[in-house]
Amino acid sequence: MEMAAENADHGSMVSGSKSVPLRIRVLCWLVKNAGAVTRRNDGTVNRRLANLIDRKVSADQTPRHGVYTKDIVIDKTTGVRVRLFVPDNGAHGDFPVVVYFHGGAFCALSGADVAYDTFCRKLAGRLTVAVVSVDYRLAPEHKCPAAYDDCFVALAWLRAQGRDCLPPSADLSRCFLMGDSAGGNIVHHVGCRVAREADMSPIKIAGHVLMQPYFGGEERTPAEVRLSNGVPLITVEAADWYWRAFLPEGATRDHPAANVTSTDISELSLPPSLVVVGGLDLLQDWQLRYAEHLKKMGKQAEILFYEDAIHAFHVFPGYDLTPRFLRDLAHFLQVRADL
Which residues are known catalytic residues? 181, 281
CA 234, 79, 117, 302 dihedral sign is positive
| CB under 8 A, 24+ apart: contacts of 39-45 | 39/238, 39/241, 43/140, 43/241, 43/244, 43/245, 44/140, 45/107, 45/108, 45/138, 45/140, 45/141, 45/245
What is d(CA 175, CA 38) in angstroms, rounded to the nearest whole number? 36
Q: Do the strands 80-87 and 130-135 form a parallel or antiparallel pair, or are they unpaired? A: antiparallel
Q: What is the SS3 string spanning 268-324?
A: CCCCCEEEEEECCCCCHHHHHHHHHHHHHCCCCEEEEEECCCCCCHHHCCCCCCHHH
What is d(CA 181, CA 204) in angstroms, rounded to the nearest whole number? 24
- Cross-strand pairs, 276: 211, 304
Q: How many CA atoms lie within 13 A of 78 on its CB side?
A: 20
